[in-house]
Amino acid sequence: MYKICKKCGAVNKKDSKRCYRCGFKLDYDINLSLSLAISGLVFYIPANLYPIIQTNKFFSSTTNTIIDGIFLLWQKGDYPIALIVFFASVLIPILKFIIIFYLIFSIKTKSCFFISFKKKLYKFIKVTGHWSLLDVFVVVVLSGLIHSQSVSIIPQKGALFFLLMVIFTIFSSMTLDISKLGEECEKNQ
């Protein structure tokens, strides 16, 4: 049996610890992935509770959480942008957590069901996972563009927690060894 290196795409023997071509680690501990996912989940809660952005206009100041921002865009009539932000900042992180925990659970319980479907789920989180950074970068762009004494936009605690959450989930999916899925089923066959 063979294992593909996630970094360079080389085909290695299943029992190889490192890729013969690029030298990267092929075998990660599933508990590392689990702990990173849990860390991400811990940061997900304050990321949604704390405001991510503060808008100062002359003598008034308002703060917005991620959900507030989406509602404001929707009320303004920017439906496509509201949907993009909703997908990138709300739906994808939730889906990502569900999929990561489901895959870790499947590997730990040596489940033999829906292997190809689970591999597709893994590809989905690999492709879409980092798009959650969109909201953080929007805050960065807005604060860089508007920062005068009378009008300014500044990041808040929520942006930092959200960024940490995305970083932890990216590392969690990177260290998730998907080749372990269905390993026992192959042996039994």
Q: Write the interaction track for other proteins spanning residues 140-169; mark x where CB under 8 A is met and - where it is not.
A: xxxxxxxxx-xx--xx---xx--x---x--
Query: Total residues at the site for other proteins (CB under 8 A)?
Result: 46
Q: Is the distance from CB of 180 to CB of 107 less than 8 angstroms?
A: yes
| Out of 73, 100, 103, 176, the residue judged to bind other proteins by CB under 8 A | 73
Residue 67 is a binding residue for other proteins (CB under 8 A):
no
Q: Does 10 bind other proteins (CB under 8 A)?
A: yes
Q: Which of 84, 90, 95, 112 binds other proteins (CB under 8 A)?
A: 84
Strands (E) in the chain, as ranges, are 2-4, 11-13, 53-57, 60-64, 151-155
Choosing from 38, 81, 90, 95, the residue that interacts with other proteins (CB under 8 A) is: 81
Instruction: Confirm if 66 and 90 have CB atoms less than 8 A apart.
Output: yes
Residue 184: CB partners within 8 Å, gap ≥ 6?
A: 110, 112
Quickly list DSSP for 94-117. HHHHHHHHHHHHHHHTT--SSHHH
Q: How many residues does the chain have?
A: 189
**Min CB(159)–other proteins separation in Å:** 6
* Site residues for other proteins per CB under 8 A: 2, 4, 7-13, 20-24, 73, 76, 78, 81, 84-85, 130-131, 133-134, 136-148, 150-151, 154-155, 159-160, 163, 167, 174
